[in-house]
Amino acid sequence: MTNKLEDALEREFQRAVSICIDQYGYRPSYFLQMLCNYGPVDTAIRLVTAPKFHEGFTRLWELRRLDLTVEAIILRNPYNQLFTKDVLEKAIERLQQLGYKEE
């Protein structure tokens, strides 16, 4: 199940990237490189637990699209099953710091 779920998470990340490129002209190159190097789960963990907001998070906040952040995506069912409670709590904390309300 995990492999299929990880594949689905990667597709969801790619969907968010497509929206960024098509609607905003923003290409999250560093994120795409990380996705290639580490896969969707490890990339998400690295970004969410980094000491500072990552560049993509800040850019999506500027675009008023926090719903497209790694943090928002991993909190959704069924993707949240892939992460520990600590990672999910950190994602919630970051989103709340910028006033994001879940859909």
Q: How does DSSP classify residue 80?
A: G
Domain limits of the chain?
Answer: 2-97
Per-residue pLDDT of the chain (103 residues; tens, 9 = 90+): 459 999 999 999 999 999 999 999 999 999 999 999 999 999 999 999 999 988 899 999 999 999 999 999 999 999 999 999 999 999 999 999 988 876 5
* Distance separating alpha carbons of residues 79 and 16, to the nearest angstrom: 14
